[in-house]
Amino acid sequence: MARADAVVSFEQVSFEHGHSKPILESVDFSVRKGSKVTIMGQNGAGKSTLFQLVTGALHPEEGKINIPHGLTIAHSRQVIPRDQLDLSVRDFFRACFAKPVYDIDPRIDDVLEVVHLKGHEKVHDRTIRSFSGGQQARLLLASALIQNPDLLLLDEPTNNLDKAGIEHLTDFIVQYPKTVMVISHDAAFLNAFTDAVLYLDVRTRKIEQYSGNYDNVVEQIALRIEKENRKNAQLAKEIQENKDKANFFAHKGGQMRLVAKRMRTKAEEMEEEKVDVRKEDKTIRPFTFPVQEPLTGDIVRITSFSVIGKKNKPMEKKANIVLRRSNRLLLRGPNGIGKTTLLESMARGTASGTIIAPGVRVGYYRQDFSTLNFDETVLQSLMHASHKKDEEFVRSVAAGFLITGEVMRTKIGSLSEGQKGLVAFAQLVFERPGLLILDEPTNHINFRHIPEIAKALDQFQGAMILVSHVPDFVSQIRIDEVLDLDA
C-alpha cells in the first residue's frame, strides 16, 4: 500500500533495459510530500532511469508505481537533447507545456531571474546552442521551474555551474516548498538541503532508503558495514571452533561420531547466519595518461584570447603564457564568458592568439562528450583510439575504468553520462597526448573516481589546460599558471 503522504511510491518494481541489462529488481520505497531527497549510486546504476520511471517516460516490467492523480512533475535533465540545441529560447520553453502558453515571454523572464541568468531580457530569440555549458545548465533548470511542479526532479543540476550558480540553486532548493528529488555527486551541495537518501545498489539492483543528509548516510553505511563485518568475524570464529571439535570427535569413534555430526550441523547453520556485507561502489583503478614522445620546447604559446563581454559582444585581451612539458594552466571565469568556446578553438587550432607547436597531439575532453562517436560501440571507439589494435589490451585498460562486458558492446549514445565520461578518459589514455585540454572533467563522474582522475592529471608529463568549477578537485592538481578571463 502507498503511504498517504507520499508523492511517489514503488511497490515491487522491476525494470531492465533489454533482457541483458537489469536495473531494478523488486524495489520498494516511498517519497514523502515536501521532502528533499538525494538519489545516490554508481555510474550506470540507473539513477536517471529511476527519474524516467517516475515521469512515465519508461514503464516497469513488474510492480506498481503510485503517483497521486493530478500531481505535476517536471524533470531537469543532465543535458539538453541535441535536437533541441537549435531551438530559440522561446520555443525551448514552449516545448515544456502540453498546451499553448500565450504569456510565455514574461514567464520566461521571471524564471530566468530565478536561475540568475543575467541579460535575460534579450535572449528570447537566441538559440540554445549559443549559450555556454553553464548557461545551458541554468536553462535546463529553468525549463523545469517554469512549470512550478509538485515534484521537481533535478539530474546533476550543478554540472557546469560556477560557484555563484551553485549557491543560487542551493538557496532555491532550500526554500522550494514542494518535493524535490536530486541526482548529484556534489557532497557539499547535497548536504545543504537533503533530508533523505535513496541509494541504488548496482550489484543487488535494490534501492536502500535512508534518513538524513549525505554525510549522515555515508556514516550510517559505514557503521552498518562495520557491524556486519564484526558479526561475520564472530560467526567465522565459532564455525571454525565447531569444525575443529567435529574433526576431533570424529576420530574417537562410537557416540563421539554423533557429537561430531551435531558440531558440523551447527557449523552449517552458522554459515547460513552470515550476512551479505553491503559492498561499496567500486572505484576506477589508478591510471596514468601516457605522454607523447618526444616532447620538447614550447608546446603552447598564448598571446591573446577572446571572451564574451557585456551585451554579449566578443572582446580581445592580451596574455603572455607559455606552456612547456609538465606545465598546467587553469582557466577561470564565470558562466557565459566563453571558456568552452576558447578551449574548443584551441583544440581545433583555430584560436586567434594561441599557437600549438607543430606535431603536438591534442587530447580534448569536452563537457558534452561530442569528441565521442555516439553511433559507435565502446569497443569500436576505444579500438580506433588505441595505437595497439589489440582487443585484449583495449579491454584490460577499459576494465580499469569499470567498462566491461555488456558496456563494451553498447553504443556510446546509450550510456549514462557518467559512463560516457569514463569512456572519454579511457580514450585519452589511448591517444597518448602531448597537450591535454579538459573542460569540466568532473561533470557526471562518481565522487569516488575523482581522486584517481586528479592524481593521473597531476602526474601527467605533457602540457595541460584545465577548466573546472570544483575547487576540491583543482586543489589536488599542481597548477603553474591561472588565467582569469574576467580580470
CA dist 434 and 442 (Å) reads 21
Confidence at residue 59, expressed as pLDDT on a 0 to 100 scale? 93
Confidence at residue 1, expressed as pLDDT on a 0 to 100 scale? 44
C-alpha to C-alpha distances, 113 to 71, 110, 242, 336, nearest whole angstrom: 26, 5, 71, 16
Cα dihedral sign for 60, 66, 70, 76? negative
Domains, the chain, ranges and CATH?
A: 6-72+149-217 (3.40.50.300), 300-484 (3.40.50.300)
For the chain, the 3-state helix, strand and coil shares in percent, each to the nearest 5, are 40, 20, 40
C-alpha to C-alpha distances, 456 to 175, 293, 313, 382, nearest whole angstrom: 39, 18, 37, 19
* Among 227, 437, 253, 422, CA closest to 331: 437
* Among 153, 143, 207, 140, CA closest to 179: 153
Confidence at residue 4, expressed as pLDDT on a 0 to 100 scale? 63
Confidence at residue 30, expressed as pLDDT on a 0 to 100 scale? 94
pLDDT mean for each 10 residues of the chain (487 residues): 77 84 90 93 83 93 94 89 90 91 89 75 84 85 92 89 84 93 87 91 85 81 76 80 79 74 77 60 89 95 90 87 97 89 94 95 93 95 91 94 91 91 96 96 87 96 94 93 90
Question: 133 and 440 in contact (C-beta within 8 Å)?
Answer: yes
* Residue 297 DSSP SS3: coil
Confidence at residue 258, expressed as pLDDT on a 0 to 100 scale? 79
Question: Which residues neighbour 53 within 8 Å (Cβ) at sequence distance 6 or greater?
Answer: 10, 13, 15, 24, 59, 60, 65
